[in-house]
Structure 1
Amino acid sequence: MHTVAVLALPDVIAFDLATPVELFGRARRPDGRPAYRVVVCGAEPMVDAGPVRLAVGAGLDELHRADTIVVPGRNHPEEPTPAPVLDALRAAAKEGTRIASICVGAFTLAETGLLDGLRATTHWLAADALAGRHPAVRVDANALYIDNGAVATSAGAAAGLDLCLHLVHRDHGVAVAADAARIAVAPLHRTGGQAQFIVRNPPRYATATLENVLAWIEENAHLDLTLADLATAAHTSVRTLNRRFHTETGQSPMEWVTGVRVRHAQELLETTDHGVERIARHVGFPSASNFRAHFRRLAGVTPHEYRSTFTGTAAAQQQTGRRNAGA
């Protein structure tokens, strides 16, 4: 039977640990037999997991007997991983064991060097930190999960469930994966990627010299702005403004404005029933088509798909339809 070893490191995130334990542990073959043997292992017999303390069922030797190793995130991923753990992961990878990380568990995988030269993802809030600490890793903050074959990574929290379901699909086919998804009350595949969850250009962005103009953009993004308008608000030249934006935000001034407009649109999609054309005008896009194009580029989904995801509109309509049909 395929053995999944879930690595429990000190300070492990309980949600990340529970996700593979529950998903793989409850997966069943068509004849009802378990699809996986799941074991929790680590370098210590007890580990803290936020407000709880967990007993670990097996030692690091179990990693060498596993077919898949899952590395959950830790609450403080910047802390170094114990050397014996890194050595055990490298040895398992060399033996052909598949290794997957959930959320900031990608930091542990990156420490081993197993992600060097590969695309990888992690929670969007930690993506810049991962890229900064491990420049050899090609960090993609937009993906829910990335499967490189022998090594896979996922974004935060629920994206770990997406990755686990993907691995079940890969191991046992769509029928077993679909059954596991039903047990977890989760979609087998979610529309879009992590991009739809990222907060674009937050109003309190840390910057050395742009604080005032960023606050001005926050209040005026709905207007028909030009680069000259932004330079005037910043009391500087267009050339200097461009340089400062690229240095401090990695974006051009107008790219920043677009990101703010998209964030404002997301808030309206979540909190109102306004149509796309009304929202486009309200946040500063010249047309609904222009809004849709920029929204899809930055969020990875259409405005309609975004609203369905974050307000439950589609699910509510489905349930209403079922009730009406049964009336």
Structure 2
Amino acid sequence: MNALGAKIAITGCGSSIPPQVITNDDLSRLVDTSDEWIQTRTGIGRRHLASPDTSLSDISAQAAQEAITMAGLTPRDIDLIILATSTPDDLFGSAAKVQHLLGASNAVAFDLTAACSGFVFALITAAQFIRTGVYQRVVVIGADILSRWMDWSDRNTCVLFGDGAGAVVCQATLREDCLLGFDMYSDGKQHHSLNLSYKGQQKTLKEKVNISQGSYHPITMNGREVYRFAVVKVPEVIERALVRAGISSEEIDWLILHQANQRIIHAVAQRLDIPSEKVIANLEECGNTSAASIPIALDEAVRDGRIKMGDIIASSGFGAGLTWGAVIFRWGI
């Protein structure tokens, strides 16, 4: 299928969650917090953490393989792999390593960084390659290991984040187009609200020639500002995506938001007048897994039978940058 304007089907999903678990009670032994404090403010009860010998490439490949299998394909059928992550194993990128681990020898692979919006941005990017006829079978992965970059003495951030990976397969199709509408935004004026910033130390190479060498600071966040941003911008971007899709919020079967905070999820659903029984959330078990949170929640809901073939899903990612976006899609057509 090479014609401009190819249609898109999302035909498979998968996820990989590390087996190590740290509970709210465990965290109360590390920092001044409690299960009640964390639950009432975030909705999080547990989070899964990657072990020292677990790489981002490993869990990304595992999630992708599950999605490829569900789609009825093999890794050699894949044309393109897009890895949405802010925590690659290699600063030059990890997508090519994932391609190798999968054995997807016919695929080109690249990383995309948009923090917690990454999966939504990557899914929209994949759709453009399919619609222009360049690629026909694309794996989109959202994965992060934020435990690597956490200050485990900062109770404002260490209680929030977990590790994991999720993936979907997008294919060109002659049938109904399942990507119904989308919208994306950035606002660099608010970049200071959520950071994993460079940490440099001056090094003199010779007289009057200095460079900076270093690593990164732990994650810092202004939770109040991120909350204010999310409860306003996320409903707006979903509403715009619905307009582009030509459907109303009443036609949505499921709402899957980035799993940042249960209060944000509740506020957005209320603003859109979407009942709680249509909202998918796994914060209690997984916490905030950044770019992985939406595809992990999607995979769980597909595999347990909640999401069925043809269901319409509204999804939004939002976070560091600040970035935010929404996509409206139909599952499995």
TM, length-normalised to structure 2: 0.24
Structure whose residues are more often strand by fraction: 2
Please tell me whether Structure 1 or Structure 2 has the larger radius of gyration of its CA atoms.
Answer: 1
Structure with the larger RCO, 1 or 2 (CA within 8 Å, 6+ apart): 2
Structure whose residues are more often helix by fraction: 1
TM, length-normalised to structure 1: 0.24
